[in-house]
């Protein structure tokens, strides 16, 4: 969208974005979290760190005068310290402050509309008007433009008149009103994901290089089965450079340990951060707190984060899994066999599942904002950005579910003795073929596979008979990675 000014309310500087790419339509929001995500996606492509260089900042692309209205800057353009924000860098790194600033500015815009309550419940040019719709429309086309749209019966033909009811891309105010069908007053806790979406990224500026839901991914070893997580790098540290980079809790919860990494269990989510060698003490953690480092634990030569998101059965309302066609929204029962081609959840199995059963779900749907998809994952998925984050985990868990099968139970996790998966394969089996060169060349990969398999067999021979060790060595060579 291009920069614009409103002639309404003393020429308030709009919070419209300076980004030039065409706007993507947003889903109809029916709760505060969805409403705020819609604005973030329309304005700053969901990125809280966005700085266009044209005086508009953050995920909501707010300018100085909008920030003054919200109380984050004074009349001289100095930061006030509200929410601990004393600089632009503070603001860009503080998602909570940005959410609060957006809502505070929205309240100001409602005031600029005058008796705004009179519009709630009306249908204008086929569009139902809600409280969130008024805030969205005034944020994106200005209070003056929205006022014109409301009083003209939904006219959007006045572009260039000084009280435009359209934005710089020609999107009508009514589009923004219609996309945001929420009448409750939002408080800010819904914006970053508290109680709905994940509240923090597991790594700094993440990119996905191997997508969720793939069956027998090429380059991941024969018979590798379902990929029930997303493989992630920090944007500026792909391949070997990712080793040792920080991992952060994506939500509040209890940190526990496993043989392949760490896990955080909250009241709505369980997230797994695999391949880490870190062994932190179990403790309560907050979203955004460092919990471990990226490693290549049981994925020798291929450091990366294998990130899994699980929600309880009560939070999985449906599953859309069509093997060979659409696997973006497959759900898998925790404890089910990853190599079972029919191991995904069906509507009937979901209905019959215990409320305490955890299900693997696509992490992309729960990220706090959309992120890039790169490499062969982008080719296979046919997109360069993660899926729309619907962020609807549903009910909380009254009693923490226990694990079975391929994941360890809560008690074992707490003691740090178990492993998350039966996998003991080398990491080379996990790597996408086009990304292998980022970590190791093809010759070294083969050597690593043999060395990892041989090492495992030697270790096992000290505890088991040679025939079992030999069998496991063969399994390793066939690829058993995540």
Instruction: Give me the pLDDT at residue 236, please.
Output: 93
> Do the domain assignments include residue 418?
yes
Considering the domain architecture, whether residues 246 and 167 belong to the same structural domain is answered as no
Considering the domain architecture, whether residues 355 and 457 belong to the same structural domain is answered as no
Instruction: Give me the pLDDT at residue 266, please.
Output: 87
> Do the domain assignments include residue 22?
no
Considering the domain architecture, whether residues 238 and 353 belong to the same structural domain is answered as yes
Total domain count for the chain?
Answer: 3
Considering the domain architecture, whether residues 173 and 275 belong to the same structural domain is answered as no
Distance, in Å, from the CA atom of 8 to the CA atom of 2, rounded to the nearest integer, reads 18
CATH number at residue 134: 1.10.530
Domain span at 385: 206-422
> Do the domain assignments include residue 148?
yes
CATH number at residue 368: 2.70.70.10
> Do the domain assignments include residue 319?
yes
Distance, in Å, from the CA atom of 418 to the CA atom of 366, rounded to the nearest integer, reads 27
Tokens, residue 112:
């600029």
Tokens, residue 456:
């495992």
Considering the domain architecture, whether residues 278 and 300 belong to the same structural domain is answered as yes
State the CB neighbour count (10 A cutoff) for residue 6: 25
Instruction: Give me the pLDDT at residue 318, please.
Output: 56
Instruction: Give me the pLDDT at residue 317, please.
Output: 57
Q: Which of 383, 400, 422 is the last residue of a domain?
A: 422
Element (H, E) at 381: helix 375-381
Q: Are 182 and 167 in contact (CB under 8 A)?
A: no
Considering the domain architecture, whether residues 295 and 373 belong to the same structural domain is answered as yes
Considering the domain architecture, whether residues 156 and 278 belong to the same structural domain is answered as no
pLDDT in tens, the chain (482 residues): 333 333 333 333 343 333 334 456 778 888 887 888 888 888 877 778 888 788 899 889 999 999 999 999 999 999 999 988 999 988 988 888 888 899 999 988 888 888 888 899 999 999 999 999 999 988 988 888 899 899 889 888 877 776 788 887 788 888 899 999 988 888 765 443 333 578 889 999 999 999 999 888 876 666 788 999 999 999 999 999 999 999 999 988 999 998 889 999 987 889 999 999 999 999 999 989 999 999 999 888 999 999 999 988 877 755 678 787 788 888 999 888 888 988 898 878 887 888 778 899 999 988 988 899 999 999 988 889 998 777 765 433 333 333 322 334 433 333 332 333 323 333 333 333 333 333 333 233 333 333 333 433 344 344 334 443 444 344 434 333 46
Considering the domain architecture, whether residues 225 and 249 belong to the same structural domain is answered as yes
Q: Are 228 and 332 in contact (CB under 8 A)?
A: yes
- State the distance between the two ends of the chain, measured CA to CA, in whole angstroms: 41
Considering the domain architecture, whether residues 246 and 393 belong to the same structural domain is answered as yes
Instruction: Give me the pLDDT at residue 162, please.
Output: 67
Considering the domain architecture, whether residues 272 and 359 belong to the same structural domain is answered as yes
390 φ, ψ (degrees, to nearest 5):
-75, -30
> Do the domain assignments include residue 461?
yes
Considering the domain architecture, whether residues 444 and 347 belong to the same structural domain is answered as no
């Amino acid at each position: 969208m291009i920069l614009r000014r409103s002639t309404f309310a003393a020429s308030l500087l709009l919070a419209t974005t300076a980004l030039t790419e065409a706007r993507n339509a947003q889903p109809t929001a029916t709760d505060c979290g969805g409403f705020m995500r819609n604005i973030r996606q329309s304005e700053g492509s969901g990125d809280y760190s966005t700085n266009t260089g044209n005086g508009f900042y953050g995920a909501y692309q707010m300018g100085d005068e909008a920030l003054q209205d919200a109380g984050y800057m004074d009349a001289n353009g100095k930061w006030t310290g509200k929410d601990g924000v004393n600089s632009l860098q503070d603001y860009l790194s503080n998602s909570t402050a940005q959410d609060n600033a957006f809502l505070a500015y929205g309240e100001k815009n409602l005031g600029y509309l005058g008796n705004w309550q009179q519009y709630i419940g009306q249908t204008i040019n086929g569009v139902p008007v809600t409280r969130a719709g008024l805030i969205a429309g005034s944020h994106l086309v200005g209070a003056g433009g929205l006022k014109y749209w409301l009083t003209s019966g939904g006219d959007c033909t006045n572009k260039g008149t000084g009280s435009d009811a359209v934005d710089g891309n020609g999107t009508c105010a009514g589009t923004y009103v219609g996309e945001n069908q929420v009448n409750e007053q939002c408080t800010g806790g819904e914006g970053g994901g508290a109680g709905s979406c994940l509240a923090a990224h597991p790594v700094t500026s993440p990119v996905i290089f191997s997508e969720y839901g793939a069956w027998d991914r090429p380059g991941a070893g024969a018979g590798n089965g379902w990929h029930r997580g997303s493989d992630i790098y920090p944007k500026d540290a792909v391949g070997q450079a990712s080793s040792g980079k920080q991992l952060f809790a994506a939500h509040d919860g209890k940190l526990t340990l496993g043989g392949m990494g760490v896990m955080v269990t909250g009241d709505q989510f369980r997230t797994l951060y695999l391949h880490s060698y870190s062994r932190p003490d179990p403790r309560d953690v907050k979203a955004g707190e460092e919990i471990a480092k990226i490693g290549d634990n049981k994925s020798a030569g291929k450091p990366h984060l294998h990130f899994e998101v699980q929600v309880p059965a009560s939070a999985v309302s449906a599953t859309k899994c069509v093997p060979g066609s659409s696997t973006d929204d497959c759900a898998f029962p925790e404890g089910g066999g990853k190599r079972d081609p029919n191991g995904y959840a069906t509507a009937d199995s979901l209905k019959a599942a215990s409320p305490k059963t955890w299900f693997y779900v696509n992490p992309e749907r729960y990220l706090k904002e959309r992120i890039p998809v790169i490499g062969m994952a982008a080719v296979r998925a046919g997109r360069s950005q993660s899926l729309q984050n619907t962020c609807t985990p549903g009910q909380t868990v009254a009693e923490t579910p226990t694990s079975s099968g391929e994941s360890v139970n809560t008690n074992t996790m707490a003691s740090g003795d178990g492993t998350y998966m039966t996998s003991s394969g080398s990491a080379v089996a996990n790597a996408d073929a086009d990304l292998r060169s980022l970590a190791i060349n093809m010759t070294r990969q083969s050597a690593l596979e043999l060395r990892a398999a041989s090492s495992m067999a030697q270790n096992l021979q000290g505890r088991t008979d040679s025939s079992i060790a030999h069998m496991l060595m063969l399994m390793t060579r066939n690829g058993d990675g995540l």
